[in-house]
Structure 1
Amino acid sequence: MVLSISGLKDCCVQKQRESGNEEEACYSSFKDLSSNGFSGHIPKEIGNLEKLTYLSLMNNNFTGVIPREIGKLHGLKVLVLGRNNLTGTIPQNLQGLNLEWNQIAGSIPKEIGNLTILTELYFANNSLTVVAAFAIVFRRYWKKYQDSKGTNMVLVPTQERVSYYELLRATDGYSESNLLGIGSFGSVYKGILNDGRSIGVKVFNLELEGVLKSFDVECKVLKNLRHRNLVKVISGCWNQDFRALVLEYMCNGSLEKWLYSDNYFLDTLQRLNIMIDVASAVQYLHEEYSTPVIHCDLKPSNVLLDEDMVAHVSDFGIAKMLEKEESFAWTKTLATIGYIAPEYGSAGLISAKCDVYSYGIMLMEVFSRRKPNDELFAGNLNLKSWINDSLPNSILQVIDAKVLKREDENFTEKLEGLSSIMELALKCVCESPSERISMKVTLETLKKIKLKFLRVN
């Protein structure tokens, strides 16, 4: 089958129909036409697709020269032409280039020396001779690689390496339809790797102040963390102008979504299980890992749920690692207003008790379905004082109405259990860090409360 521009558009439309996004079919900056059985020459008119940032024609039967018109696509960053029968010169201004398994012969074209931002390069299985131009660009490329490797992804142990253009393909060019959420330092997209695995891709916004430090911190913190309730890092991808972490995909989204969307509901036991999962992860960070780790930003949007509704703590962008002999540290980086412990917000003092405070606020939020900065609160009133004032006689007024109703079976016993949860939360949010209970005690107490609920349900 010969590829024409109209054929290209038809193919794109078909692919977009399959994903339910036909309207943007011919205007997307992302074109993946790999493995379609195309043959003949790549049409010169392809140079008219001005919005292209990613183009993959891999694994077809194209012959002839690479059209010079592709070089007119100034926005094109990644070009994947591997596994065809092509010859010719190489377009400039690319970050990723794949020409493996073609018929390019002779010397590596001198134009490659102009690819100053190249970070992904594949030339395997051609008939090329290395010349000076290639040596120049290779040294330039290798220097960039070494510069970034020394401070970043060498810290993330993984047997996988996911390339820049594979992530671009996996996420449909980071299309809005794949956007899962936006955080303090970047955005998270859903992607599907070549082997069919679903992933989350956290792309850091390099224009934000402190983002490179945040990326380094996540890499460092996640270096050896292993716990069922922490989001797993599969791999990472980086170059001079790009930073991303490839994460285990959590198909049920965030705890925040489940709390505040009218389309979702969590019963009491589900909420308890999720908060037990979170407490288990945080206790591991504080007491069971070789170096104490303070998450510093515990909140429902940073708790993700897998297909079995098991909770996983995510986003370590402002986490702190303490030395073994340290019990606290200082920072100038503020977390999310409403969840910050008093000593953290006023003096930048970080300790494990800061996470305990944030956890206590989140525990109140999960069972009241009220955010700490809810419009309900005015003046000196906040979630903490609202809960405190309700105990012990008015606890039903602050509990999420979806969780407990007066006509429910074993109402009194369930109300006592929910009251115990709020009492526990208040012990986590004492003004003085020394008065707060530890995460270990919090976890043990929650497990006992869960057993009581199991008896009355």
Structure 2
Amino acid sequence: MVGTLPPEIGNLKAATLIDLSMNRFSDGIPREIGGLQTLVHLSLRHNKFQGSIPDSMSNMKLKYFNVSVNKLYGEIPSGGSFKKLSSEFFIYNEALCGSSRFNVPPCPTSSKHRSNRKKLLLSFFLLGITLLFGPATVVFVWIRYRRGNRAPEQEDSFSAITRERISYYELLQATVALSETNLIGSGSFGSVYKGILRSGTAIGVKVFNFATGYSIQEF
């Protein structure tokens, strides 16, 4: 037999044994098959099934489930009846992964976990910069903001520059840790960086260079 295994197979509610091995079924295993609660023997070996094994099959009462020699990939369910299945039932597939008892490689870490790890490393990086350079750096911040009530002809003008107290950690976040991409200019007195606070306010940050006498005189 060839073709796709139809989802209507889930209507065989009284079936206890289904053997479709040694055929040429393709595409995925329909998730509706997970509703066959009386099924204890299911053989799909030696076909061309693709995709992953449906999670819905974890709730079945299978004692025999063989999908060897197919083109399946993804994680092998580890709960329910899969706890007692042999690793031989999953051999010769495309790229199955999961528990080591199935003799398959572990599944790769999800993108969400990788993202959380990157955020944690970035936090430690910023904290290290703060502890290392914070005490030796004097920063003046000039904040520009638009007037709340302006005449139509003055919509493009900025209000007077004011000064606010902002933590050094906030400055590092606003300027991407004083990166070169945010550098506006530099000279003998120090460097000026552009940045944007969490509130959306654009700022300019001047970092004095105390290695020269000029910056001390200006300070």
Q: Which has the higher contact order (CA 8 A, sep 6+)?
A: 2
Indicate the structure (1 or 2) with the bigger Cα radius of gyration. Answer: 2
**Larger strand share, 1 or 2:** 2
**Larger helix share, 1 or 2:** 1
The alignment's TM-score, normalised by the length of structure 1, stands at 0.20
